[in-house]
Amino acid sequence: MQQGPCLAHCYCSPRTLLFARVAIGYTVACILYLLFTRNIGTPFADSLTDEQQAIKRSSSMARANVFLKSVIMSTVLVRVWRPLRT
**Confidence at 84, pLDDT banded by 50, 70, 90:** low
* 3-state SS assignment for residue 8: coil
State pLDDT tens for residues 13-60: 788 888 889 999 999 999 999 999 999 999 999 999 999 999 999 999
How does residue 11 score in pLDDT terms, banded at 50, 70 and 90?
A: confident
**CA–CA dist 53, 45 (Å, integer):** 8
Q: Tell me: pLDDT of 1 over 70.
A: no
Q: Is 12 helix (H, G, I), strand (E, B) or coil?
A: strand
